[in-house]
Amino acid sequence: MNESIKEQLEWTFKAVVVTIPEDTQTVVSVEKDQVLAVLRFLKGRGFDHLALVSCVDWIEEKEFELVYILTRYMQGDEERKYQERLHLIVKTRISRQNPQLETVIGIFPNAEPYEREMHELFGINFEGHPRLTPLLLERDYKIPPFRKDFDTRKYVEEIFGNIPSVENNK
Amino acid sequence: MDRNKIAKWLKEPAKMANKYSLHVIYFCTGCGIIEIPPVITSRWDAERLGIIPVATPRQANLFLITGYVSVKTLRAIIRTYEQMLEPKYAIGFGSCPINGGMYWDSYNTIKHLDKYIPIDGWIAGCMPRPEAIFIAVTHLWTLIDKGMANGYIRYRENYEFYRRNQEMALGKLDWPPLYQIRSDVKAVENE
């Protein structure tokens, strides 16, 4: 199954690099303008569950890496048991200076909160997302807090360290 | 009833009644709430000490803050504390409300909870055992007896201070002050 997905992907798309680190994992590295096409293709092949969208900050390479993990919903019959265990990991890189990517809500509607969260924590702008409003955080941050160049200790000292304690009252 | 306490009951009935009927509000912050179900159910049975969990802040007079406090939760904690009836007591449970605990350098966790609301007692540990809650409650009885569990009085007296701290952490608060802020009173007098 792994091999056939690999063949199909490499046959359909040009710049796709498929590696198989483990029996149950297949890593698909694609260019950023091909993400939608690859995800739509894989959904058509039965990978209909977007389990996670995540982001990695490669600060030295000045790139963000977006990770989409796809699996299948339970099918039930014996023949598909092996396929069910297969995790497809679609990776793409975008520039850190201008982090922008098209939303995948059109294909997987459950990507909506993931993309909101990444917009909030990494500052990635998803084009076509219906509401990129704050999801988890209350305060405004100059640098989104999950980026590597966000200095947590300095931030904590500046914000929470400056609030006077009870002993300082009067 | 304990015969030795009859004199106390006759002398200060309100205080004694207060002491033995602490109503804890269900409010879950962080991981510490996992210790509460065994405490209030048959394993440790908190009701033998007069502790009953209640659903709304209007019925409660004991506030257990169980675990780390994120900035968003602080807003809910303040609103809950302000709605509770006096006399009200607040206990910080676990090391996170005391000084941040393992989240001491987190960007979104409140480090010292007593900067924002007055706390009557702390239970240290990560996690404290359920028995620690009973030790804390018996300590609280002593404090109530001596009149030292006066968090709500401190809150009323230093309300400007607490409100300013809350606004420093949360930005502009979208509810009116619970007590009159004294600087406002002065401004009116000057006019």
CATH at B68: 3.40.50.12280
Considering the domain boundaries, does residue B90 fall inside one?
A: yes
CB pairs under 8 A between A and B: 52
What integer pLDDT is reported at residue A29 of this predicted model?
Answer: 92
**pLDDT over threshold 50, residue B191:** no
User: Is B71 in Cβ contact with A137 (below 8 Å)?
Assistant: yes
Q: What is the number of domains present in chain B? A: 1
pLDDT at A108: 92
Q: Between chains, do A169 and B107 touch, taking CB under 8 Å as contact?
A: no
Name the strand (E) or helix (H) holding A126: strand A125-127
Mean pLDDT rounded to a whole number for chain A? 86
The CA distances from residue A97 to A83, A120, A123, A148, B119, in Å, are: 39, 16, 11, 14, 46
The predicted pLDDT at position A23 comes to 78
Range 99-128 of B in CB contact (< 8 A) with A: 104-108, 110-112, 114-115, 118
pLDDT of residue A112: 92
Segments forming the whole domain that contains residue B165: 22-170
pLDDT tens by residue, B31-72: 888 888 899 889 999 888 889 999 999 999 999 998 899 998
Quote the pLDDT of residue A60: 92
d(CA B143, CA B19): 10
Residue B188 domain-assigned (yes or no): no
C-alpha–C-alpha distance, residues A95 and A122, integer Å? 12
Q: Is residue B164 part of a domain?
A: yes
Question: Which pLDDT does position B29 carry in this prediction?
Answer: 85
Residue B128 lies in a domain: yes
Calculate what percentage of chain B has a pLDDT beyond 90: 28
Q: pLDDT tens, B160-176? A: 889 989 998 888 888 88
pLDDT at B143: 92
Instruction: For residue A113, give Cα distances in angstroms to A52, A135, A141.
Output: 10, 8, 19
ipTM of the complex: 0.77
Q: With 90 as the cut, is the pLDDT of residue B189 above it?
A: no
pLDDT of the residue at B180: 81
Tell me the C-alpha distance between A92 and A32, whole Å. Answer: 6
Average pLDDT, stretch B136-154?
90
**pLDDT score, position B81:** 93
Positions in chain A whose pLDDT score sits under 50 = none
The stretch B92-106 carries a mean pLDDT of 89
Q: How far apart are CA A66 and CA A73, in angstroms?
A: 22
Residue B154: inside a domain: yes
User: Is pLDDT of B126 > 60?
Assistant: yes
Residues A4/A6/A9/A13 CA torsion (nearest 10 deg): -140
B79 lies within 8 A of chain A by CB:
no
**Is B191 within the bounds of a domain?**
no
Which residue's entry shows tokens 């007896």? B145
A71, A25 in Cβ contact below 8 A?
Answer: no
CA distances from B61 to A37, B55, B97 (A): 58, 12, 19
**Tokens (6 digits) for A164:** 């006077």
C-alpha dist (Å) from residue B127 to A80, B37, B96: 44, 14, 10
Average pLDDT over residues B86-115: 89
Contact criterion met (CB below 8 Å) for B71 and A155: no
Inter-axis angle of helices A35-44 and A2-12, to 10 degrees?
A: 140
In a domain, B8, yes or no: no
- The pLDDT, as a whole number, for residue B183 is 63
In a domain, B60, yes or no: yes
Categorize the per-residue pLDDT at B116 as very low, low, confident or very high, splitting at 50, 70 and 90. very high
